[in-house]
Copies of this chain bind each other. A is one copy, B any other.
Amino acid sequence: MKGQLDRVDFERMKTIGIDLGGTSVRVALVDEAGAILTQEKTATESEKGVEAFLEKVAGMVERVIGEEEVSEIGLGSPGPLNPFDGVILDPPNLVGWENVKLKALLEARTGLRVTLDNDANAAALAEAKVGAGKAEESLVYITVSTGVGAGIILGGNLYVGAQGNAGEIGNMVVQPGGRAQGNLNAGSLEGLASGTAIGRMGEEILGATGDAKEVFDRAMKGEEAAKKIIDEAVGFLAIGVANLANSFNPSVFVFGGGVMQQEMVLPLLTEKVRTMLYPSMKRHLNLRKADLGTEAGVIGAAFLPRVSRLK
């Protein structure tokens, strides 16, 4: 475990990826080709405080490094956060964490350099480097699970925007005056197309448990009202994707998250997005499922120190 090295040496070295989630945290030693060499996973327990978390994670980092020479940590975390200063702002999924200078704190604790970014950006990077979008010039990664978020990769680097807020697509308005959810805009993409939204509609319309999975199961069995919920939610997602295609025209869209694991979603989404594109764009439309599953976060985090951030 050594201090910061110059770029040339570093590029041949392994890095540490940390995938910090509301429920669990995963720490891995990852090589330059994106292969996980060792990893540990444990409960996040954000409610026990930042100090306890740092203590725990520093131990995990030390163990996964073992005898290797490592100088860099990449950390993917739920947003909102400031990736330039390395500060966690006030993420709804990390209870009681507000304005936590996680980069500086973890650097002080480990002696390694830390690069912080949001979890969707980390997953986008993994899919672009070694997953469904490798060899593509540009990629928009969209995760549809509890929330809806995106990461944008241009020419192998992370496009984060002027204040690091690029990819906050969950707050895009896809139905003006539509249903509000949490502190999101009325009619937001996340409020209408996330797993949470599908679950809530299941509860209201079907009298289901509130779990999106139940709505999908009932739709698979042919229940019309359940099918209609899915169709509507995927319709709103399609508006979001088509709007991104029309404004950003990436080489490929890659989709991760629990909702996208449902077999019916991607074909339905593709069909709906196609209806909203000019004929000349239609045939280039390229929507794919993510390749890396639950390991995208930690692999992508490990790539964070290796790429540039474009503003």
Contacts and interface: CB of A to CB of B under 8 A. Distances in A.
Interface in A296-311: 310-311
Interface string A119-137: 0000000000000000001
B246 A247 contact: no
Given A174-B176, A176-B235, A311-B138, A247 B167 contact: yes
Interface in A178-198: 183, 185
A183 B280 CA distance: 13
Contact of A243 (B89, B243, B250, B251): B243
Contact of A278 (B171, B239, B242): B171
26 contacts: A80-B280, A138-B161, A138-B162, A150-B247, A154-B159, A154-B310, A155-B310, A161-B250, A162-B250, A162-B284, A165-B245, A165-B249, A166-B249, A168-B249, A169-B247, A171-B246, A172-B247, A173-B242, A173-B276, A174-B176, A176-B235, A176-B236, A185-B242, A185-B276, A244-B247, A248-B248
| Integer count of this chain's copies in the complex | 2
A146 interface: no
